[in-house]
Amino acid sequence: MLIIGAHMSVAKGLDKAAQDTVNINANTMQFFSRNPRGSSFKIYSEKEIAKFQELRKEYQFGPLLAHAPYTLNLASAQEKIYDFACMVMREDVARMDALGIEYMVFHPGSHTGIGTEAGIQNIIHGLNQAITGNENITILLETMSGKGSEIGVTFEELKAIRDGVTHPERIGVCLDTCHVFSAGYDIVNDLDGVLDEFDRILGLDLLKAIHMNDSMMPFGARKDRHATIGDGEIGLEPLLNVMRHPKLQGLPIYLETPLEDEGHKEEMKMIREML
Ligand SMILES: [Zn+2]
């Protein structure tokens, strides 16, 4: 069965987001673990959590994915930025784990001048503070497009992060179709080759989730601009091929296309029909 959902707003509550997920005919969702551009988080009420868990169970949602805020930079050499990122990771890994959320994804970070090697060491140090090893949640490193000084642009960088942490068994990968295309992995003409490379470097068993997005920017542009499915430089067929690929069956798929809920509902309907 296809496990597919979209990025949902939790501004009106976790329970409301779960209900919206049902309403758009999705069976999973992604949501921000806290305010994506700020530092605050709302305390979920007991009633809200109960309703959320009830809906999730009743409609048999696939694995849920919490997304850490965009403002977090675990690679930063600036003390204030780094300490904030470490605190958010510590808090949100614990908060999402307590809710029984299966996965939490984050952008590894940007080294902003200190170099990839040093940036990776900062990320490892931050993750080690957040992961005790007793969690059920798995932290997913997102494949990045390579804009600016982003880390996580190559599979090798993701492997270096995972290999460095104390609890690598709690670390997986979320592959973003827009980002890898933009980073120079040719999923249009050589999907098998890209997956083979992923398997050789990381192991395909570490791939836990897919961010399904088309790209406004051309191949290898190293720019992160999501497009709706079929309306970008990747195109409909190559994205369907990702979803059809025998090695990727069963993985949860999350749309982060620039659409509201109604648009995502239509987009998922189209995908199901085309598949
Ligand atoms: Zn992301």
Give 97-121 pLDDT, tens digit per residue: 999 999 999 999 999 999 999 999 9
Distance of CA 188 to the CA centre of its chain: 21
Kindly give the distance from the C-alpha atom of residue 212 to the centroid of ligand 1, in angstroms, as a whole number. Answer: 11
Q: How many angstroms separate the CA atoms of 138 and 230, rounded? A: 31
Average pLDDT, stretch 151-155? 98
Q: What share of the chain is helix, strand, coil (3-state, %, to 5)?
A: 45, 15, 40
Structural domain of residue 216, as residue ranges?
4-274
Kindly give the distance from the C-alpha atom of residue 68 to the centroid of ligand 1, in angstroms, as a whole number. Answer: 8
Kindly give the distance from the C-alpha atom of residue 178 to the centroid of ligand 1, in angstroms, as a whole number. Answer: 10
Q: How many angstroms separate the CA atoms of 247 and 264, rounded? A: 25
For position 71, what pLDDT does the model report?
A: 87
For position 245, what pLDDT does the model report?
A: 98
Kindly give the distance from the C-alpha atom of residue 32 to the centroid of ligand 1, in angstroms, as a whole number. Answer: 10
Query: Which residues, in sequence order, are bridge partners of residue 141?
Result: 106, 173
Task: Specify the residue for token string 């670390």.
Answer: 171
Kindly give the distance from the C-alpha atom of residue 33 to the centroid of ligand 1, in angstroms, as a whole number. Answer: 12
Average pLDDT, stretch 59-64? 98
Kindly give the distance from the C-alpha atom of residue 25 to the centroid of ligand 1, in angstroms, as a whole number. Answer: 22
For position 38, what pLDDT does the model report?
A: 72
Backbone angles phi, psi at 171, to 5 degrees: -115, 130
Q: How many folded domains does the chain comprise?
A: 1
**Considering only CA atoms, which of 89, 78, 84 is closest in space to residue 119?**
78
**Considering only CA atoms, which of 40, 30, 38 is closest in space to residue 9?**
30
Pair 183, 222: CB distance under 8 Å: yes
Kindly give the distance from the C-alpha atom of residue 179 to the centroid of ligand 1, in angstroms, as a whole number. Answer: 9
Write the CATH number for 265: 3.20.20.150
For position 172, what pLDDT does the model report?
A: 98
Global pTM?
0.97
For position 222, what pLDDT does the model report?
A: 97
H/E element, 15? helix 14-23
For residue 105, how many other CB atoms are within 10 A of its CB?
Answer: 23
